[in-house]
Amino acid sequence: MIEVILELGCEVILVVIRGNDVKFGSTSFGSKLADISGLKLSYKGVCEEFPDLELRDDWREEACLRFKDRINLMESEEEIYSYILTELEKQGYKAKKKKRGGFRSINL
């Protein structure tokens, strides 16, 4: 299991990776975790990643399915961690702490 804390301004995001299961949480909403379908997605960001979804009405659902499919193809938690970190850093998030397997968190 890998847990990562990311920040964007005063917003703090928690990402928990257990195998191929990825959950996201926000400190502004308490400790409740949700998968990608529970997040607010940026239409502009989705269209940059998947240009073919620009004119579709179900762009949000399709983007969630594609994210889950991509995660399921990855072989390790470290690979998933790298992918998520890369994608969120593009949006301006900065990784602050990482905890692996229940050990103490390290500053990044």
In a domain, 30, yes or no: yes
> Which tens digits make up the pLDDT trace of 43-80?
888 888 888 988 888 898 999 899 889 899 998 999 99
Q: What is the pLDDT of residue 80?
A: 92
- For residue 79, the enclosing domain spans 2-99
DSSP secondary structure, 58-74, as one string: THHHHHHHHHHHHHHH-
In a domain, 105, yes or no: no
Q: How far is CA 4 from the centre of its chain?
A: 10
Contacts of 80 (CB under 8 A, 6+ apart): 2, 17, 20, 22, 71, 74
State both tokens at 90: 């593009």
pLDDT of residue 86 exceeding 70: yes
In a domain, 10, yes or no: yes
Q: How far apart are CA 43 and CA 76, in angstroms?
A: 29
Separation in Å, CA 107 to CA 5, 65, 94? 10, 32, 11
pLDDT of residue 91 exceeding 90: no
> Which tens digits make up the pLDDT trace of 3-59?
998 888 888 888 899 988 898 887 665 667 888 877 778 888 888 888 898 888 889
In a domain, 19, yes or no: yes
Q: How many domains does the chain have?
A: 1
In a domain, 11, yes or no: yes
Q: What is the pLDDT of residue 28?
A: 63
In a domain, 36, yes or no: yes
